[in-house]
Amino acid sequence: MPASQRFDFLVIGSGIAGLFYALRVAEAGQVAIVTKKAATDSATDWAQGGIAAVVAPEDSFEDHVRDTLNAGAGLCREDVVRAVVERGPHMIEALRKHGVEFDRSVDPMQNVEFDLGREGGHTKRRVLHHRDATGHEIERSLLAQVRAHPRIRMFENCCAVDLITSHRAGRNEPDRALGAYVLENASGRVRRFLAPITMLATGGAGKVYLYTSNPDVASGDGMAMAYRAGASLSNMEFMQFHPTCLFHPEAKSFLISEALRGEGAILRTQEGFAFMSLHHEMADLAPRDVVARAIDTELKRSGADYVLLDITHRDPAYIRNRFPTIFQRCIAFGIDITREAIPVVPAMHYSCGGVRTNLEGETDLPNLFVAGEAACTGLHGANRLASNSLLEGLVFADAAATESIRRFGSIEDCGEVPGWDEGDATDSHEAVIITQNWDEIRRFMWNYVGIVRSDRRLERAHHRIELLKGEINDYYWNFRLTPDLIELRNLATVAELVIDSARSRKESRGLHYNLDHPERDDEHFRCNTLLQRGERARPEPT
Ligand code: SIN
């Protein structure tokens, strides 16, 4: 691969947002997609539940807006919520045109074209799905189109290291994005990918926690790169824990979709007690933060390792047909979900915070766009409503593509940019240092910055990350880059941002629950948390 390549649009990441954006901007120019493993290694490919959109006659935009605002606990931007919800039906059509198949309704009494699932926090059935493998179906269809497109080049096993900006390139001009330094994994060389417009669609940061439903690629790379490049981030304290991941020593946090509860599954203690009605009027279909906290309380109260999710009262043939992925995976671990309840625990699932964008998906670093889980658009507020994220990724990828195409012809060329400076870095023969740091971060994040936090736990986490940051930086500049080292550095940055944000929010709201400040404080904290390079996290007055 040449040391430097030029494209019209650079996309980093290959999930729903990156692929959809690439297909749209390819109408206007040459596109590179850079992705650190195989293109299908994305959270999109793992998404089970589906995509929320108003398509049923008994549903309405108002209802979807209200459910989203309720889940978001006072921090959603209502203009963003409306814009996303109202684009829902259009985005479903766009996906269908790209070949995505959604399950159709088989019930003649249900006056709708599609079979609609229900999940926590939704007052109506509105989740379009492809059995229990919706994300895989979307990834499959979009990727087939991308691979066949003459103007899109896919660079797999290429790990973005840092964004290139005009300030970083040493220019005395207003700062703007110019592309990225990218490690070609096979050769170990860092290449320049230059483009007047860059889209970060790098997904979330689940790997910052010990237990997560996310794929291994979710190390918060886009958030960390954008932060280092000077873009603002918001609301990193709002990390969403999915209530139900399979509890099994070899399962590596396999997700058990909330759609099971939408179809009647009940959470029980190991003694069989259905405990959710003690915690919320919507019982098993309460918003996700409530369910995850209720399970956490139950586990701490009883000392048990897991609770049970029971769908055995539904017809076995229905279960096997509606949830084939979950059925098969559980059978592989010796659990027949048609006959026995599933052992489950919460695990980190989704970052509601991220790189702040406007309605066009642009950050405050000009020509840098972000979409999908890496972004904080204002849709989710303090807690994301289930199945709103694939929709958000599409709507913002689409809006960003429209704005990118409009602007593209008038942006000045990227000019000359210095190559990556390796300094005196040598090869490291001590991979153990990386794994040790990695394990340490994930464990203290789980124990101290998890579902339930306290001032003391957050202080401890703060001290530990300060210490580790020094060690990791030292290692980073002395040894040649590897994908593991790049991820570790990003993971440490994201952990620091989460801890810093959580320390600055002295209340409990949505996904942030602090034992020392158990009440919601609208007077002081009904606002976003702002994170800017070189400054402490702070509440941003509205
Ligand atoms: C699930 O299937 O439970 C996950 C859906 C989501 O996170 O939106």
pLDDT of amino acid 296:
94
Give the CATH number of domain 4-237+352-408. Answer: 3.50.50.60
Residue 436 to residues 130, 253, 412, 458, Cα–Cα distance (Å): 40, 21, 45, 21
Put residue 463 in one of left, alpha, beta given phi > 0 → left and psi -120 to 50 → alpha.
Answer: alpha
- Which residue from 255, 291, 351 has its CB within 8 A of the most atoms of ligand 1, so it is best to mutate? 255
Numbered ranges of CATH 3.50.50.60 in the chain: 4-237+352-408
CB distance 446 to 210 below 8 Å: yes
Bridge partners (DSSP) of residue 234 are 354, 530
Does the Cβ of 219 fall within 6 Å of ligand 1?
A: no
CB distance 267 to 308 below 8 Å: yes
Beta strand 354-356 pairing with 375-376: parallel
Which atom of ligand 1 is least distant from the CA of 386? Answer: 8
Could you give the residue numbers annotated as active site?
288
Bridge partners (DSSP) of residue 355 are 233, 375
Does the Cβ of 259 fall within 6 Å of ligand 1?
A: yes
Does the Cβ of 48 fall within 6 Å of ligand 1?
A: yes
Residue 340 CA to ligand 1 center (angstroms) comes to 22
DSSP secondary structure letter of residue 35: -
Query: What single string gives the DSSP state of each residue in 225-267?
Result: HHHHHT--EE-TT-EEEEEEEE--TTS-S-B--THHHHTT-EE
Taking only the tens of pLDDT, the chain with its 542 residues reads: 899 999 999 999 999 999 999 999 999 999 999 999 999 999 999 999 999 999 999 999 999 999 999 999 999 999 999 999 999 999 999 999 999 999 999 776 667 889 999 999 999 999 999 999 999 999 999 999 999 999 999 999 999 999 999 999 999 999 999 999 999 999 999 999 999 999 999 999 999 999 999 999 999 999 999 999 999 999 999 999 999 999 998 988 799 999 999 999 999 999 999 999 999 999 999 989 999 999 999 998 999 999 999 999 999 999 999 999 999 999 999 999 999 999 999 999 999 999 999 999 999 999 999 999 999 999 999 999 999 999 999 999 999 999 999 999 899 999 999 999 887 777 877 788 889 999 999 999 999 999 999 999 999 999 999 999 998 988 888 888 999 999 999 999 999 999 999 999 999 999 999 999 999 999 999 999 999 999 999 999 76
CB distance 371 to 21 below 8 Å: yes
Query: What single string gives the DSSP state of each residue in 364-409?
Result: SSTTEEE-GGGEE-SSSTTSPPTT-HHHHHHHHHHHHHHHHHHHHT
Residue 16: what residue type?
I
Task: Tell me which residue has its CA closest to atom 5 in ligand 1.
Answer: 49
Closest CA to 120 of 353, 293, 375: 293
pLDDT of amino acid 110:
65
Give the CATH number of domain 242-347. Answer: 3.90.700.10
Task: Tell me which residue has its CA closest to atom 4 in ligand 1.
Answer: 49
Tell me how far apart the alpha carbons of residues 507 and 503 are, in angstroms, rounded to a whole number: 10
Numbered ranges of CATH 3.90.700.10 in the chain: 242-347
Does the Cβ of 386 fall within 6 Å of ligand 1?
A: yes
Cα angle 261, 265, 271 (rounded to 5 degrees) comes to 130
- Which residue from 46, 119, 129 has its CB within 8 A of the most atoms of ligand 1, so it is best to mutate? 119
Residue 306 to residues 86, 179, 244, 248, Cα–Cα distance (Å): 39, 46, 10, 10
Does the Cβ of 14 fall within 6 Å of ligand 1?
A: no
Does the Cβ of 373 fall within 6 Å of ligand 1?
A: no
Q: How many CB atoms lie within 10 A of CB 372?
A: 32
